[in-house]
Every structure is written in C-alpha cells, then in structure tokens.
Structure 1
Amino acid sequence: MSDENPATPSATFEPRLMLGDLLFESLPGEEDVIAQVSDVPGDLGVAVEPVAGKEGILEVRIAKFGAIAFLTLIDAPVPDHEAESNAHQLYCQGEDRDRISTHKAQILVAVPPEFTGDAAEQVADLSAPQTQLIAARVHGMLTMALSRLPGLVGYYSGSAAATFGLPFLHQVVTGQFGSTPWPLWVSAWLRPEAEGFSGYTHGLWAMGHPELQVVNASISPEDLFMYLMDTSAYLVLEEGEFADGQSTGRNAEELFTLHAEPWVVDQSVPAFRIGM
C-alpha cells in the first residue's frame, strides 16, 4: 500500500493465534478425538496426548511442520448465543442455523504460529503472511480430521467471525474449494444499498492481507460475492499483493482500481476499496 494516503492505517501484521470452533450436539469422547487426529493421512509425525493437570485439553504435535496445536473439549455451547448470532448470511441459514442454535458442546482448535526443530529454521526466512498460512494449514488439517466425528452441526470461525453450517463445512473439508480449506478463514458479507450492493471481506487481515470492500457496486450480489472470494483466494493461496491505485481484475475485461483506506468494520485495520 502507498504511504501517501493519510487515511490508510499504518498497521503492521504479526502472525497470530489461529482459532476455530467445531460445534457438536454432544461432546465427543476424548479417545475418539485422539483417534481421529492420530489418523491424519500422510507421514506427518502426529502425536496427541492430554495436557497434564488440564482436564479436556489435548496437545497435538506435528513433527513435519514443527507445530504444536491445542484442542479444548468443552461440554457447553458457545456463550451468549455468539455462534448463531454470527451465522453466515449465505452458508448458515434456515435449518443449518437452527442446528447451530441447539449445539451443546464444542471443540476449540488453537494453533500458535510458533515452530520448533528444522521447521523453525525454514520458517524464519518467511514473510509474516507466509508464516500465518502454515499455521492456518495445520489448523485446517486438524479441522478436517475432527469433522469426521459424529454429532457435528457446524463450525465457528475465529478469523472470519462467521459460523458455517454443516453442508458448507463438508464442501470445504472434502476439497470442493481445493486442498486448502481457506473459505473457513476468510469470507465475504454483503448488504443491499439504495443503489446496488456493498460488501466486505472478513478474515484477510488475520491472514496478513488488507481486507477488501466495495461500495454501491452495480453488479449482481452473486457476482460481487464471488469476486470478493476469488480475490481473497488469490491473496491467501497465491501470496498476492496489491498497492494503492493499482488496477486489478480476474481478466482483461474486468479491471477495477484499488483505493487504500480503513476497513469499514474496524478503522484500525487496513483495507482496499475496489472501485466498481
């Protein structure tokens, strides 16, 4: 982003804890959780064991990535109806939202962006977004494993601040959006305006990229949503970068100018407004 735009927050991204919450009808047994996580395919060197003196907390070590994750088994719903209040406007409505509202237990997955052994030396030279993506992929791997447990009703994403219903979660973990479950970390939200639709992403900054936003776009809401999601995928998976004043689009006929400005949700977070 350009330093010449005084309206742009001068925020610096640092890798952060990756959080996500799988929601269940009832709490799975600890042995079942350990079995599912230990059965992750590939020669990753996964080891799972209870944390001494901490009931309901499991430590997961993944040797290949030098990563440590923590699973917290909670025999209670997310407090204050937070999960259903953040039901995604497209991927958690109707019966999906009803199921979320009746969940009784959760497994919180936490992955710090910290690495040990040979992996730590490799990560040391990576950018902050690249380091975050590794932590996110470890988180995604564990989420995919735990999604095989019975009684699952949905997923509450910490980074996307959104709850997703079971059908969408299954689409993601079965690879319908690619091998990396990135739509669990970043999503788009739309709202109708007097003329057209406005929209914004939620979760890009948690992955090390400025958020995206659009004001009064004249394209259809379906096209706007897909544009925001396609652009998010480019930034997260292909390590894309944007600059203030740059023109971008998915093809030569679709070019829009980017304007650096504060994010509509949180003025301290940087964003790019797409001039549609």
Structure 2
Amino acid sequence: MATPISVDKELFVPFLINSVMFDRTLGVAEVKDHLEGLDTQELSIGEVKQLPENTESGPTLIFGVNGQYLVRVVLVDSPLTDRVAPAIHPILTGPAADKLGTVKAQALVSLHPNEGEPTREDRLAQALLHARVSNHLSRLAGVVAIHNVQDSTTVAPRLYSDALSDSVYPVLMAPVWLAPDSSGDTFTGYTYGLHQLGHPELQATGISGDPTEAYLKLMNLANYVIGGATLKEGDTFSFSQGATPSTVEAGAWVISDKVPALIIEARSLI
C-alpha cells in the first residue's frame, strides 16, 4: 500500500542533485565507459548519450536508470564554490574535509522524477537510485567526496558507500546535524532532508548530555521514518523498552520555518 506524503509537495526540489568531486579532471569517454552497460540487481543503466556541447555548462551525459528515471551527468572542471564549505559535517565528511581544497573537477548527477502524484515509496526509490549512481561514479580514481545539494552535506566516499551497503539511509539523504543553542550549555539536533522524502523533519532542542548518544538516536529514528514509518503530532514512542514515552509535537524546522518539523522531547535522546 502506498504511503502518502505528509508535507506540501511544493517543497520538493524539481530534481535531485549530487556533486561527486575529484582531485583531477575527468574525460568524457572515461565516464561514459564507466557508466554504460552497468547492470546489477539494484542498478541498471541504459545507453549513455552525450548531448551537444553547451557553453554554459560542461559535457553532459544522459541515460535511463532501471527503465524508470532520467539521469544527467554534467562534467565541470572547476574547484569548489563557497557554498560547499559550510556543508562540512563533523562526522560524515571526516578525513575528506582536509582534501576539499584539492578538488579540480565535479560530476554533477541529477535525477529527474517521473510526473504524477508522488508517494513516500516513490521519493525513496528516486533518492536511492540517485545515491547508487553517485556511488558508482565515486569509484572512479581521484574521488574526494560526495556533496548532496538537497541536504547540504558533504560525505566521505567510504562512508557514503558503506551507508548505501548497510541501508543507513540518513547518511545519504537526511543526515542528522547538531548545533549549539544560544546558551552554549545545550544543543539542537535536527535532520536535513526528510521533507524531500515526503515527511516532516525531526528536531529536538535543549539537549544536554552525550551528543554522540543524541546523534545516534536521531539517526535511528530518521532511518525508521525513511524506511516507511510515519510520525505525527501527538504520537508517543520510546527508544527502549521500559523508557518513559516521548510525545511528538508539531513545530517549524530550525533551518526554515516554511518546512514542517516534528519536535522530539530532548530527554528521550539522553
């Protein structure tokens, strides 16, 4: 049974974009050969065609994925823009953070969703295929990191690949961030990307105690949601048997008040 989206679909970006970043320039034939003919249980790529040259962008390759979605890969020979620097995640970017200054080229991977009324399952399938194509490109020599434009997060290639293999989906499409509160004594934890999958973001403020525990619990809850669960205002849950239940409240996302968020009680995360 299809799970309906629980956010305004006007919040959805027109298409998903990742930047796979390299410390060397990329040849069109090299990338085309790497993509063409791939046929696994999870990812099947059809004929790869090169579009006519466009002076406003780099060489562009276009192909179908799993017979359902259209993917474009634009090859750009340029260093990073300023917007990538703030996307360094203290955990997910990891050692790649020290290498971002070496980036010389990017493969911009965009997936164009099908038309029609979206469901949660549709959004997840699209995001997963997008991640699989990005991960496949990251196997080319010289990869530095993968930057997800939708969730504004840069991830080290090994962590990205492991998350895909282990189905730790928040790393790929809705990572958890922690930020100090104004007092400096507590912090806010939030997801970044669930609304693109059709579900409100998750958020908790005034968290004290071990940030690692809070991070992991929010990651687990986000993965539970991405896997098909739906949380809504008034729901109660607990992370372990016998723990005091936490009540979910509706609120606004810390990044943008235009995006709905579900507020998790901070005490449940420590």
TM-score, length of structure 1 as denominator length: 0.83
Q: Match of 1:187?
A: 175
Q: Match of 1:119?
A: none
Q: Match of 2:263?
A: 273
**What does 1:139-154 align with in structure 2 at a 5 Å threshold?**
139-154=130-145
Q: Match of 2:68?
A: 66
- In the alignment, the residues of structure 2 paired with residue 181 and residue 28 of structure 1 have an alpha-carbon distance, to the nearest angstrom, of 28
C-alpha deviation, 1:11, in angstroms: 5.2
Residue 109 of structure 1 aligns to a residue whose secondary structure is strand
TM-score, length of structure 2 as denominator length: 0.84
Q: Which moved more, 1:64-73 or 1:37-46?
A: 37-46
Q: Does 1:250 find its partner at 2:252?
A: no
Q: Does 1:110 find its partner at 2:110?
A: yes
- In the alignment, the residues of structure 2 paired with residue 59 and residue 257 of structure 1 have an alpha-carbon distance, to the nearest angstrom, of 46
Does the C-alpha gap of structure 1 residues 65 and 259 become closer, same or farther in structure 2, counting only changes over 3 Å? farther
Question: Does the 8 Å CA contact 2:169/2:223 hold for their aligned counterparts?
Answer: no
The one-letter amino acid paired with 2:96 is: D
Q: Match of 2:3?
A: none
Question: Does the 8 Å CA contact 1:28/1:149 hold for their aligned counterparts?
Answer: no
C-alpha deviation, 1:168, in angstroms: 2.1
Question: Does the 8 Å CA contact 1:40/1:145 hold for their aligned counterparts?
Answer: no
The one-letter amino acid paired with 1:234 is: Y
- In the alignment, the residues of structure 2 paired with residue 151 and residue 101 of structure 1 have an alpha-carbon distance, to the nearest angstrom, of 13
| Gaps in structure 2 of 5+ consecutive residues | 1-5
Q: Match of 1:231?
A: 221
The total of aligned residue pairs comes to 251
**Larger RCO (CA under 8 A, 6+ residues apart):** 1
Equivalent of residue 201 in structure 1, options 191, 195, 201: 191
C-alpha deviation, 1:195, in angstroms: 3.9
In terms of fraction of residues, the more strand-rich structure is 1
| Gaps in structure 1 of 5+ consecutive residues | 1-9, 116-123
The one-letter amino acid paired with 1:191 is: A
